[in-house]
């Protein structure tokens, strides 16, 4: 079918055949489909949606627009997690080594932060020497020998997504559930995974602030992934408070290494990470159930086996060989590191909540995040020691790591404005589990 006929069919709510969707994506790649036609189809899908069969066809066609990795030499335990993005979300840094220590293989292809949410790659780039773009041979060797490698997106995986996303971004068509689904899953399917676990965030710092919208996206992702042959489950998790007690880059690496080393108390971060690890182990058969997966994951964390894997991964990808033991020697430190207190803190004692998105924006103001994809970032700055929901109202609200006084003050104002009165109850970290 001609591209304009495919657009017309979607405009008029006629079903699209998998063959026609495949032709359209092939045309995106060989440029016989124009940008205008891509924009028009994106808007027609935004307005009229897609059936599950159409979304599966779009996802698999986008997967096949580039290289599909083959890990068949590693057996069935090749598994990953995808998060819809949050603030203080350093789960991947703890999760991948836990799963590796339990016998899984995690080839994790991550992104950079954009907008108020951080990106895993930016966090790793605060580790001196860590190479986020190793060649294919190094990537394969590290996954095989260590069990996990966290690296950056290569242009060869699902290249149609890059073209289509660039057009969606400037035509108000990003917020379409089938288009988001195809975008996320085409890249995960191209990574050659045998199983996937999704962390779909809900709350003020999430891509989907509202629970019904998050559930709709999670259900679409789970059904389409399974329809495309990749066993997948999703957890809906709370993003009405930062997950780690830090937001930024080096500060989040410190938080993750502290959890791996059993230091400090970050109960929500630990709980969500272990719940995701448990699902990952179960979905590829390393554990018979999520309950058994949880036991194995707890053991990998408390025995130090996960910390050891993290250290091996950092070293194998060019970072310091003593990073786990000596991280303070290696991570950058901001010139200003100062506590922030709140004069009327007593009003919030025992029921602190944050507008989490504002905390992410404070990190951008400090220079630790991006407003445009080409921006450079400052890895040393950010927020740490963020108060928990049960804050006493008088101890510091957080510690600000800033490059200079001006950005310190801007971030301090924003963090103060982000403070809310919560309900006094801590919602459960994992609110729902969605399966096909
Ligand atoms: N993340 C993606 O990778 N794609 C989308 O379309 C939205 C979020």
Catalytic choice (59, 65, 83, 220): 83
Tokens coding 130: 């860590």
**Which token pair is 48?**
């009229």
Tens-place pLDDT, residues 123-135: 999 999 999 999 9
Domain 332-421 has CATH 3.90.1170.30: yes
Number of C-beta neighbours around residue 313 at 10 A: 27
Alpha helix ranges (H) inside 91-210? 91-101, 120-124, 136-146, 159-169, 177-190
Evaluate whether 387 touches 398 at the Cβ level (below 8 Å): yes
* Secondary-structure breakdown of the chain: helix, strand, coil percentages, each rounded to the nearest 5: 45, 15, 40
Where does 3-63 sit in CATH, by number?
1.20.970.10
Tell me what the pLDDT averaged over the chain comes to.
96
State how far the alpha carbon of 78 is from the alpha carbons of 69, 97, 315, 401, 404, in Å. Answer: 11, 13, 22, 38, 44
By most ligand atoms within 8 Å of CB, the mutation choice from 63, 157, 180 for ligand 1 is 180
Q: How far is the CA of 283 from the centre of ligand 1 (A)?
A: 23
pLDDT at 178 over 90: yes
Contact (Cβ atoms closer than 8 angstroms) between residue 381 and residue 316: no
Q: pLDDT-derived band of residue 114, with 50, 70 and 90 as boundaries? A: confident
CA nearest neighbour of 74 among 96, 98, 99, 103: 103
CA distances from 158 to 46, 115, 139, 164, 229 (A): 21, 23, 18, 11, 17
Check pLDDT > 80 for residue 425.
Answer: no
321 is catalytic: no
Residues with CB under 6 A from ligand 1: 165, 174, 179-180, 183-184
Average pLDDT over residues 61-68: 98
Give the residue with greater pLDDT, 26 vs 264. Answer: 26
Instruction: Tell me the domain boundaries of the chain.
Output: 3-63, 72-327, 332-421
Choosing from 10, 116, 168, 357, which is the catalytic residue?
168
Kindly report the protein residue whose alpha carbon is nearest to atom 7 of ligand 1.
180
3-class SS string, 407-433: HHHHHHHHHHHHEEECCCCCCCCEEEE
- Tokens 């801590």 identify what position? 426
pLDDT of residue 223: 98
Give the pLDDT confidence of 375-412 residue by residue, as tens digits.
Answer: 899 999 999 999 999 999 999 999 999 999 999 999 99
* pLDDT in the model for residue 113: 82
- The predicted structure's pLDDT at residue 423: 78
Q: Which CATH number fits domain 72-327: 1.10.287.1400, 3.40.1030.10, 2.40.50.100, 3.90.1570.10?
A: 3.40.1030.10
pLDDT digits (tens, 9 = 90+) for 183-201: 999 999 999 999 999 999 9
């Amino acid at each position: 079918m001609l591209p304009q006929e495919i657009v017309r069919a979607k405009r008029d709510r006629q079903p699209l055949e998998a063959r026609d969707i495949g032709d359209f994506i092939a045309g995106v790649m060989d440029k016989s489909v124009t940008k205008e036609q891509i924009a028009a189809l994106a808007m027609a899908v935004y307005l009229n949606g897609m059936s599950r069969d159409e979304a599966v066809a779009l996802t698999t066609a986008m997967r096949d627009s580039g290289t599909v990795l083959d890990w068949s030499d590693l057996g069935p335990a090749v598994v990953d997690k995808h998060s819809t993005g949050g603030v203080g979300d350093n789960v991947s840094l703890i999760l991948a080594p836990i799963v590796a220590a339990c016998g899984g293989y995690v080839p994790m292809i991550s992104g950079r932060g954009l907008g108020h949410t951080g990106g895993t790659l930016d966090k790793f780039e605060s580790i001196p020497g860590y190479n986020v773009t190793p060649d294919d041979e190094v990537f394969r060797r590290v996954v095989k020998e260590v069990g996990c490698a966290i690296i950056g997106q290569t242009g060869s995986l699902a290249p149609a997504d890059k073209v289509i996303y660039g057009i969606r971004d400037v035509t108000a068509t990003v917020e379409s559930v089938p288009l988001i689904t195809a975008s996320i899953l085409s890249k995960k399917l191209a990574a050659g995974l045998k199983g996937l676990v999704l962390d779909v965030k809900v709350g003020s710092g999430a891509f989907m602030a509202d629970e019904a919208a998050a559930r709709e996206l999670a259900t679409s992702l789970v059904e389409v992934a399974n329809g495309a042959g990749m066993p997948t489950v999703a957890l809906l998790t709370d993003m009405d408070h930062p997950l780690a007690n830090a937001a930024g880059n080096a500060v989040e690496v410190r938080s993750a290494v502290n959890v791996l080393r059993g230091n400090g108390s970050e109960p929500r971060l630990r709980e969500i990470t272990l719940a995701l690890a448990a699902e990952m182990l179960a979905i590829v058969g390393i554990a018979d159930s999520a309950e058994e997966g949880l036991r194995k994951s707890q053991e990998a964390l408390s025995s130090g086996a996960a910390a050891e894997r993290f250290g091996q991964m950092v070293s194998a990808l060019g970072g310091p060989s003593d990073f786990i033991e000596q991280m303070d020697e290696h991570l950058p430190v901001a010139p200003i590191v100062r506590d922030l207190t709140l004069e009327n803190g007593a009003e919030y004692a025992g029921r602190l909540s944050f507008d989490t998105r504002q905390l992410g924006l404070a990190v951008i103001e400090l220079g630790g995040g991006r407003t445009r994809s080409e921006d450079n970032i400052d890895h040393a700055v950010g927020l740490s020691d963020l108060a928990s929901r049960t804050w006493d109202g008088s101890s510091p609200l957080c510690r600000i790591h800033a490059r200079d006084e001006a950005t310190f003050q801007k971030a301090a104002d924003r963090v103060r404005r982000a403070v809310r009165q919560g309900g006094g109850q801590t919602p459960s970290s994992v609110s729902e589990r969605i399966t096909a």
